[in-house]
Amino acid sequence: MGDLFMLWVTVGMCYATFSASACSQLFSPGQAYLTYATSAALGAQSGIEECKFQFVWERWNCPENALQLSTHNRLRGATRETAFIHAISSAGVMHAITKNCSMGDFENCGCDESKKGKTGGRGWIWGGCSDNVEFGERISKLFVDSLEKGKDARALMNLHNNRVGRLAARATMKRTCKCHGLSGSCSIQTCWLQLASIREIGDYLKAKYDWALKIEMDKHQLRAGNSAEGHWDPMETFFPGAEAELIFLEESPDYCTRNTSLGIYGTEGRECLQRSHNASRWEQHNCGRLCTECGLQVEERRTEATSSCNCKFQWCCTVKCDQCRHVVNKYYCRRYLGRSKGKGSA
């Protein structure tokens, strides 16, 4: 059972799922907790789908079991992959809440009009509907951060990365403008700030994933669970120089070999991208990364596919196509048959 599932089944049971302080804010008069919870769950889901998209050709491809957000899930290390999941989920929740808010879906929240009418720069003033990220950020923090029950290094790491996700949603915002003036002269424009798409936020966080920072911490502290004492405030004390960077505590395994007790599926059976003339350099090495470097063989499978072809426009108004058959080559990682070879079997 993932946290996402928990989010759904506990709609209406806020105190059981989230912290009391989160609930008391969510339950203030006139606010529909259920409305937020549904939007938050949809947002987390879209974050997870984005994770799968970003990692589709990687050894670790954002498998279902990775999608639980709370600390004490034994299937997850404190790796950079965990860092990414936290950031993209938290950004997804913020995105969904903020967009719903701008669409007028929530009674108590609307566009951010704090700057409306003010001059923004040469030839433009603030107008239109700026996304209310403040609101989205606050609700996302309430939901996602309250899933974190621990008070150890891992909890700190997760909270930090949740925040990096919310910062990413802010950092990728874009100004959109509309022209005014006599006959479209555009002598004056009104502009507003909008959240980028989840895809753009995903691209942004994927780059941060590549540059994630490893933080050295006491292993005892790391393993100790809920043992940290005293007050701590991750927003104030955690790595002032790395506020907007993803952080992790443990190096990742190579993700080659299946290990169910660690929740790793391995790359055997996975499809990979073979050298092709228009693939990026990274993609050219994809079968190498997924198969060969993991001690597996690349298997080519020819499949026949049919698709529409020779389409002609007919007066009026239909399009007639033939169905053409063509051969498609796909590549998969497979174990060496016969003599075993290479690493990955240890």
Ligand X SMILES: *[C@@H]1O[C@H](CO)[C@@H](O)[C@H](O)[C@H]1NC(C)=O
Binding site for ligand X (CB under 6 A): 35, 39, 100, 105, 259, 261-262, 276, 278-279
Are the CB atoms for 298 and 332 separated by under 8 Å?
yes
Give the whole-angstrom CA distance, residue 91 versus residue 162. 8
Least distance CB 215 / ligand X (angstroms): 21
Are the CB atoms for 128 and 192 separated by under 8 Å?
yes
Query: Please, which residue, 278 or 318, has the CB nearer to ligand X?
Result: 278
Query: Please, which residue, 161 or 286, has the CB nearer to ligand X?
Result: 286
Q: Which two tokens stand for residue 21?
A: 């302080």
Query: Please, which residue, 164 or 249, has the CB nearer to ligand X?
Result: 249
Are the CB atoms for 270 and 258 separated by under 8 Å?
no
Comparing every residue's Cβ against ligand X, the nearest one is: 105
Short-list 43, 47, 40, CA closest to 62:
47
Query: Please, which residue, 102 or 189, has the CB nearer to ligand X?
Result: 102
> Angle of helix 153-171 relative to helix 80-102, nearest 10 degrees?
50
Least distance CB 287 / ligand X (angstroms): 13
For 46, residues 6+ apart whose C-beta sits below 8 A from its C-beta are 92, 95, 96, 198
Q: Which two tokens stand for residue 318?
A: 């239909």
Query: Please, which residue, 78 or 164, has the CB nearer to ligand X?
Result: 78
Least distance CB 278 / ligand X (angstroms): 4
Least distance CB 259 / ligand X (angstroms): 4
Are the CB atoms for 46 and 198 separated by under 8 Å?
yes
- What is the identity of the amino acid at 53? F
Give the whole-angstrom CA distance, residue 25 versus residue 32. 11
Query: Please, which residue, 17 or 100, has the CB nearer to ligand X?
Result: 100
Give the whole-angstrom CA distance, residue 172 versus residue 195. 7
Query: Please, which residue, 150 or 344, has the CB nearer to ligand X?
Result: 344
Backbone φ and ψ of 235, nearest 5°: -65, -35
Query: Please, which residue, 8 or 188, has the CB nearer to ligand X?
Result: 8
Give the whole-angstrom CA distance, residue 307 versus residue 180. 47
Helices (H) and strands (E) in the chain, counts: 12, 9
Least distance CB 159 / ligand X (angstroms): 26
Give the whole-angstrom CA distance, residue 40 versus residue 332. 37
Least distance CB 78 / ligand X (angstroms): 14
Least distance CB 46 / ligand X (angstroms): 9
Least distance CB 249 / ligand X (angstroms): 16
**Triad 321, 326, 332: Cα angle to 5°:** 135
